[in-house]
Amino acid sequence: MAKSIKTPKKLHVMHDLSEVNQEILPLKALADRELASIYGLTGKVYTPHIDEYMQVCIKKAAIVDCLKKQGYIPRSDVEVISAALDFLHPRARTNAVFEYQGAQYQRRFAPLKLSKSGKNVQKWAKFWLLQLPNGNIDPNWELEVREIWPSYFLIRAIDI
C-alpha cells in the first residue's frame, strides 16, 4: 500500500504578519461595536463582524506560530510558562492554582467543541492564567493568551 505524501504547509514571512495586522484593524473596530450592540442579549445572535474578526485573528495566530517555529520571532513568556506548567501539572483541574517561579497560575478550561445537539462538550481548551497577588487574573496575561490561541475562545459544533 502506497503512503500518501503530505504537502508541506506554506511558510510565512514577516510581510504576511504586516498584511494580516492591516486586515485586523478595521475588523476589530466593527467587532467591538457589534459586541457592544448585542451585550445583554440571549439566544443565537448573528454576528458577522465578530466572526470575521475571529477568523482573521486565527489566521494571524497561525502566521505568528509559523514565524516562531522558523525562529524569526521568539516564543513569549506566556507560551514558555504555559508549556512548563503543562509539563509539571498535566492533570491539573479547572481553577487549580500552582506556584511557578514565584508567581501563582490558575488552570482554566473553556469549551472548544460541542456535540451536534450543543448540549455536551466534546473537547476542552486548556490554558493557564496568571493570578495577581489580590487573587484577580492579570488582564494583560489573559489578552496575550487570547491572542496566541484565539481558537480556544470559539465554541464550535463541528470538528476542529
Residue 158: the pLDDT is 42
pLDDT tens across 91-137, in order? 999 999 999 999 999 999 988 888 777 788 888 889 999 999 999 99
Average the pLDDT over 145-150 and give the result: 88
pTM exceeds 0.75, yes or no:
no
Distant-in-sequence, close-in-space partners of 145: CB < 8 Å, separation ≥ 6: 78, 82, 127, 128, 129, 152
160 — pLDDT class (breaks 50, 70, 90): very low
Residue 1: the pLDDT is 46
Residue 37: the pLDDT is 66
84 — pLDDT class (breaks 50, 70, 90): very high
- At 128, give phi and psi (nearest 5°): -115, 140
Question: What are the start-end ranges of the E strands in 18-145?
Answer: 97-100, 103-114, 121-131
C-alpha cell at 12: 510565512
pLDDT tens across 30-69, in order? 877 777 666 555 455 666 777 788 888 888 888 989 899 8
The residue ranges of every structural domain in the chain are 14-36+45-70, 77-153
